Amino acid sequence: MGMTITEKILADHAGLDKVVPGQLITAKLDLAMANDITGPVAIREFAKFGVDTVWDKTKVALVPDHFTPNKDIASAELSKTLREFAKKQEITHYWEQGRVGIEHCLLPEQGVTLPGDVIIGADSHTCTYGALGAFATGVGSTDLAAGMATGEAWFRVPESMKFVFKGTNFQPWVSGKDLILYIIGKIGVDGARYRAMEFTGEGISALSMDGRFTMCNMAIEAGAKNGIIAPDEKTLAYVQERAQRPYKVYHSDPDAEYVEVYEWNVEDIPLQVAFPHLPENAKPVTEGKGIKIDQVVIGSCTNGRLEDLQVAARILKGKKVHKDVRLIIIPGTQAIYKQAIKEGLVDIFIDAGAVVSTPTCGPCLGGYMGILAKGERALSTTNRNFVGRMGHPESEVYLSGPAVAAASAVTGEISHPEEVL
């Protein structure tokens, strides 16, 4: 019996010819990463191991993106801890404010994450890098500290699920965000618990890399260990101009075993909105008609890429944000921000009445740059809408892609883009 792409990557990094689901392995790492919230915890634990240096200064990435620019003294201290450790350890992949971006947008852009890698990150959305054909998963800060010290991590090989999207005749404005919300709506937030979610089919091939990053980013919202898409011509074109080191491409065997297989035709999937307070509450956008909103956020590690901003600009051009709505737009990296300026997107956003922020995770985790008050309601292109996720526990967060978010910012209520075009 053959192996899935996830099993092949793990087997190679464990020095084994074959692995099977449920098997416990120790695998060599290609990258260990942390941010300004999780990194300081890992650094404290690292100091207890009795080692002076990280296992490989070129394979550790530290990204101060959650509370930067620093929002208060506590966040400044966290950033200082990360900065001083990076300097002491001579960490290659550390980005200071002004050069940093949202970690899961930045690392692929910089060629730090590559096909065939085994990547751990002290952030649950580390699974984003599966869009490159890597095994990437979130871990706790203690496991991250051990990874930084040893260059290894232990795993239980996950079972794999396959999600096949047939056809390429997408409904207007439907994107990778809609596909992943649709999946989570079908299987639930624990429907892929500790499993690999493998996305495939003509519909996936038709997605841009930005759309694929979005899909893999939210695999964790279904409880998955990782999300993954086998590399194709688009993947290789993306990485070849960015890669800083060699990489290896893997594909699933035709006779690989999957614990479950789902198949859908993309033409049957409408624009999605996830209602409070779970991503599994995904419904067609038409079911949100009439729901008024106070704030819209377009950005995050899920939808802060250039394509997302381009979509938003197509809808916002020549229009004004509703008088009762705050629209906050956050490019994922400085490079994305610069390109958005070059293409005139930022002019469109500001003319429409939006706030345009420097790259930050900010409002997604209820940190800053868009906190909700009691009773307020937001529509956001972020990834989670738990109780209190973006502010007061009596606020509400709805999730969507950038097209629905932009249109809704104009109308003041959850809306299909065609309503404003």
SS3 at position 326: strand
Give the position of tokens 């932009």.
406
- Extract the tokens encoding 384: 């989670």
The pLDDT of residue 366 is: 82
Give the Cβ contact number of residue 389 at 10 Å.
23
The pLDDT of residue 388 is: 87
Q: In what order do the strands lie in the sheet with 118-121?
A: 93-94, 60-63, 31-35, 118-121, 135-138
Give the position of tokens 């690989």.
256
Q: Give CA–CA dist 175/273, Å, rounded.
A: 12
The pLDDT of residue 369 is: 85
The pLDDT of residue 284 is: 97
The pLDDT of residue 368 is: 83
The pLDDT of residue 1 is: 83
Q: In what order do the strands lie in the sheet with 282-284?
A: 282-284, 272-274, 396-399, 377-380, 295-298, 326-329, 355-356
The pLDDT of residue 390 is: 86
The pLDDT of residue 244 is: 84
- Can you identify the CATH homologous superfamily of domain 271-419? Aconitase, domain 3 (3.30.499.10)
**Is residue 419 within 8 Å of residue 400, measured between CB atoms?**
no
The pLDDT of residue 401 is: 97
Residues of the chain short of pLDDT 50, as ranges, are none
The pLDDT of residue 398 is: 97
Q: Where are the domains of the chain?
A: 5-264, 271-419
Architecture field, domain 5-264: 2-Layer Sandwich (3.30)
The yes-or-no answer to whether 5-264 and 271-419 have a common fold is yes
